Amino acid sequence: MTAEYRDAHTWVTAAYDMSGDKPETGYSQPPCTFKDDTLCVIKDCVYKFGVDPIWYSSKEEITYLNSFKMKTSVIFGVWQMSMGTFIKGLNAVYNGHWVELIFVVFTQMTLLMALFGLMDTMIIVKWLTDWDAQGE
């Protein structure tokens, strides 16, 4: 049976042996289940980095990818704001504005990390948690 799946930029057509034995190419493919003759779903397959290509054929594709993009934008935004505040602190030290450093920069960094740093930490922990292993 032939399965087509979408890579980042190309379409790849591969012939898989349903029993999991090595095909003629010598490549060992894990046993998989075909859905709609187009997708090979491998049981217990977890991507360590990136987005699972199965999302591109899901009904919830737009919801999932928009949520992912929004969370990524929040992480980059908090990083950018913290770098700006850090540079503001360096300028305060360089110019000798100690009152501004203590009452403005430290306060801004404390509130930024207490509110948005915690949120970024929760997002990253959620992404890095293996939820399949949690149930065992």
Query: Is the same domain home to 45 and 17?
Result: yes
In a domain, 28, yes or no: yes
Query: Is the same domain home to 122 and 68?
Result: yes
- Assigned token pair, 9: 């930029």
Q: Could you list the pLDDT tens digit for every one of the 136 residues in the chain?
A: 444 444 433 333 344 444 444 445 444 455 555 555 555 666 666 666 777 777 777 788 888 889 999 999 999 999 999 999 999 999 999 999 999 999 999 999 999 999 999 999 999 999 888 777 776 6
Query: Is the same domain home to 10 and 38?
Result: yes
**Domain span including residue 26:** 2-49
Helix (H) or strand (E) holding 112: helix 106-112
Burial class of residue 82, CB neighbours in 10 A (0-12, 13-18, 19+): middle
What local confidence, expressed as pLDDT, does residue 15 receive? Answer: 41
- 3-class secondary structure, 80: helix
**Measuring CA to CA, how many Å separate 111 from each of 65, 78, 81, 91, 121?**
29, 12, 12, 20, 15
What local confidence, expressed as pLDDT, does residue 54 receive? Answer: 72
Query: Is the same domain home to 73 and 113?
Result: yes
Query: Is the same domain home to 41 and 8?
Result: yes
What local confidence, expressed as pLDDT, does residue 33 receive? Answer: 56
d(CA 100, CA 85): 12
What local confidence, expressed as pLDDT, does residue 61 receive? Answer: 85
> Phi and psi (nearest 5°) for 13?
-110, 125
Smallest CA-to-CA distance from 86 within 46, 117, 132, 61 is with: 117
